[in-house]
Amino acid sequence: MKIPFTKMHGLGNSYIFINVFDFPIEEKILADLAKAVADKDTGIGSDGMILIHPTESADVGMRIFNKDGSEGKNCGNGLRCVAKFAFEHQLVDSKQFTIETKAGNVSAEIHGDQIQVNEVTVDMGVPILKRSEIPMLGEDLDQVVAEPFEVQGDNLEVTTISMGNPHAVFFVDDINKAPLTTLGPVIEKDQRFPESVNVEFIEQVNDQEIHFRVWERGSGVTQACGTGACASVVASVLNGKLEKGKEITVHLAGGDLYITWAEDGRVWMRGKAETTIEGTFFMD
Ligand SMILES: N[C@@H](CCC[C@H](N)C(=O)O)C(=O)O
């Protein structure tokens, strides 16, 4: 099978995008296809795969698959890339439109024009805080903020947020010493998170900036995570480290995202989306 693809990234968080408006793909091969395209040696190399598909409920639909073939429900960097792709390929006819995800519909706005999309803003919706809806096991509190969390003998504090997908946020004094590759994979699969979890480490810089590193569920260390950046700003506000209603610059390994947890409860994300390769993937 010869599959046309576009490789895009948001701040280095890269996905292989397949436009299934033009090229329908059988459901049963999706997990294997995601693993195959993501493989850097025998495939293209990416953090996963995203399908851009027709839908009745929004202007365009998106499905995200992690590097290990598991399906996520939301992807902030992917949303900005899908918005750029849909606008540039005229799947939509205005700069503001809606995108369906498995976590619900969001709206996106293009900054730029057909020649150059500079940035995309996405209304990421209202974060979910209730413990059972993260989901996280334990007493069903309305929010889990700075809760003691013992892992491999380390006594940490966790704040959990769902942006349609689950995030466990930990504050550290020095981002360069965050236990990303040691505790990241352990926390990802911790039994307290029945659907596994994306793991973020945050260092507060001042009242407008944070440093951010992520171990993503199903993909491991990535250069950036849009939903994780949103979750981290929400977690910082809940811990009294940042103010609601202010735009926060999140410094990720791959660049900056601008996130606001607005007074009305909605989270806004603004940042770049870029195209790197177009081609054909050969699959047996
Ligand atoms: N990189 C993404 C999130 C992708 C999905 C995630 N790994 C999950 O399984 O929930 C982003 O930019 O938000």
Express each pLDDT in 213-264 by its tens digit. Answer: 999 999 999 999 999 999 999 999 999 999 999 999 999 999 999 999 999 9
CATH topology of domain 131-265: Diaminopimelate Epimerase; Chain A, domain 1 (3.10.310)
Crossing angle of helices 76-88/226-238, nearest 10°? 130
Which residues, other chains included, contact 7 with Cβ-Cβ below 8 Å and sequence gap of 6+?
14, 15, 16, 17, 44, 46, 275, 276, 277, 278, 279
**Confidence at 114, pLDDT banded by 50, 70, 90:** confident
66 lines ligand 1 (CB under 6 A): yes
Cα dist from 79 to 74, 140, 177, 183, 192, whole Å: 8, 31, 30, 28, 28
Average pLDDT for the chain:
97
Spacing, Cα 23 to ligand 1 middle (Å): 24
**Confidence at 69, pLDDT banded by 50, 70, 90:** very high
Which residues, other chains included, contact 16 with Cβ-Cβ below 8 Å and sequence gap of 6+?
5, 6, 7, 37, 38, 44, 46, 48, 49, 50, 281
For residues 37-58, average pLDDT: 98
Q: What stretch(es) of the chain map to CATH 3.10.310.10?
A: 2-122+272-282, 131-265
| CATH for 2-122+272-282, options being 3.40.50.10420, 3.10.310.10, 2.40.50.140, 3.30.420.40 | 3.10.310.10
Cα dist from 57 to 81, 109, 149, whole Å: 19, 18, 40
Known active-site residue 225 = yes
Which residues, other chains included, contact 114 with Cβ-Cβ below 8 Å and sequence gap of 6+?
87, 88
Rounded CA-CA distance 225/214 in Å is 7
Asked if residue 48 has pLDDT above 90, the reply is yes
| DSSP letter string, 90-158 | TSSSSSEEEEEETTEEEEEEEEE-SS-EEEEEEE--PPB--GGGTT--SS--S-EEEEEEEETTEEEEE
Atom of ligand 1 at shortest distance to CA of 227? 13
Pocket test for ligand 1, best of 50, 73, 75, 274 (most atoms within 8 A of CB): 75
Atom of ligand 1 at shortest distance to CA of 166? 10
Express each pLDDT in 145-184 by its tens digit. Answer: 999 999 999 999 999 999 999 999 999 999 999 999 999 9
For residues 187-198, average pLDDT: 98
ipTM of the complex: 0.99
Q: How many CB atoms lie within 10 A of CB 26?
A: 8
271 lines ligand 1 (CB under 6 A): no
